[in-house]
Chains A and B, each alone.
Chain A
Amino acid sequence: MADTTSSVTIRFNGIPQPWLPGQTVEMLVEQHGLPESGVATAVNGAFVARNERRRVVVQPGDDIATLHAIVGG
């Protein structure tokens, strides 16, 4: 049986959530309370620059990731 839920959800940092028409990456960052300049964003593994977030409308099934600074070697 086809997975009907995947057509109406997105994944934000690995967690499924309902897809809403017209929702942008910028809206999602704000909705999750993430600091605008404290995270970098990607959709389906492709970088979305900070100044592009308001123009990138997410689509059903999209995988949106935010990354933030950590210590590193």
Chain B
Amino acid sequence: MSANIGSSVWRAYGVELASRFLLGTAGYPSPQVLCESIANAGAEVVTIGLKRSLAGGAADIGGNDFIAIIREYCARSGARLLPNTAGCRTAREAITLACMARELFDTPWLKLEVVGDEYTLQPDPWETLAAAETLIRDGFSVFPYCTDDLVTCQRLHDAGCEVLMPWGAPIGSGQGLINPFALKTLRERLPDAVLIVDAGLGAPSHAAQAMELGFDAVLLNSAVAQAREPARMAAAFARAIEAGRLAFEAGVMARQEMAVASTPVGGRPFLID
């Protein structure tokens, strides 16, 4: 692709990024497939988690090939880690886990995830906001995983979250954007926020749709990891995200209720009955 028609760069907490594709690292069949998928995605941000060690778990920690290859990839490419607080149900848990993540991964970036419902894995807006307020004060760069609720997002943004990550659909569901109206509203009402659709995407077309709405980036995991060929699916998503962003920047035509002729024929060519 010609460089001059490539989509523009964007920034997250002052860091300039070219790729609008953030990739999760869970559920891949092998470290090699994960590495190929990150490379094909062109991801400059990859998510990572923390887990309580098992008793006598030194071997488990030392022998995690997935983590080794992620760290190696990041060191080689300059990609950044985005640790998450998966598994947390309260602000207090999330704050503790965030501090641990900052030390372990040497980054203030944090995907804040506080779930409030076990069935939908829907984020808890109150606990998420409480945690975000504390973490922002403590110098974290918070990427809150949240629903598409406008007021929740406004409160998080007011608390200092420059980036917001509303879901497209419940985690791992692959349903795509279940409420495009809400996402479109977020874009219109929060023009200064960096908006990333996180979770629920299943197909590249879902990612393209999010980008066409004016979202700054997309974060996904399962749609790539669970594909028959994850590395190729990562490439497919990368192209869809690029296409969607280009379309947004180029300006998608206004939707018409009725047909509008495109060929300017100026009436019928013949008047033959």
Contacts and interface: CB of A to CB of B under 8 A. Distances in A.
Interface in B57-93: 57-58, 60-62, 64, 66-67, 70, 83-84, 86, 92-93
Interface in B169-186: 171
A71 B25 contact: yes
B47 A38 contact: no
Given A45-B93, A70-B49, A40 B67 contact: no
A15 B96 contact: no
Contacts of B50: 40, 67-70, 72
For chain B, what secondary structure do more than half of its interface residues adopt (helix, strand, loop), or is it mixed? mixed
Contact of B58 (A14, A33, A71): A33
A34 interface: yes
Contact of A73 (B24, B58, B61, B105): B24
Nearest to B83: A72
B86 A68 contact: no
B64 A70 contact: yes
Contacts of B105: 69
A45 B51 CA distance: 14
B53 A67 contact: yes
A13 B66 contact: no
B54 interface: yes
Contact of B56 (A32, A45, A65, A73): A32
Nearest to A17: B55
Interface string B7-47: 00000000000000000111110000010000000000001
Contact of B26 (A13, A35, A65, A73): A73
Given A40-B104, A71-B28, A46 B96 contact: yes
B84 A72 contact: yes
B55 A14 contact: yes
A34 B58 contact: yes
Contact of A45 (B27, B57, B92): B92
Interface string A42-73: 10011101100000000000000111111111
- Of A34, A45, A47, A70, the most chain B CB neighbours within 10 A belong to A70
A19 interface: no
A42 B96 contact: yes
B250 interface: no
B70 A71 contact: yes
Interface of A: 12-15, 32-35, 38-42, 45-47, 49-50, 65-73
Interface of B: 24-28, 34, 47-58, 60-62, 64, 66-67, 70, 83-84, 86, 92-93, 96-97, 99-101, 103-105, 171, 199, 221-222
Given A68-B57, A70-B50, 9 more contacts: A32-B55, A34-B57, A34-B61, A41-B100, A65-B52, A65-B53, A68-B61, A69-B50, A73-B84
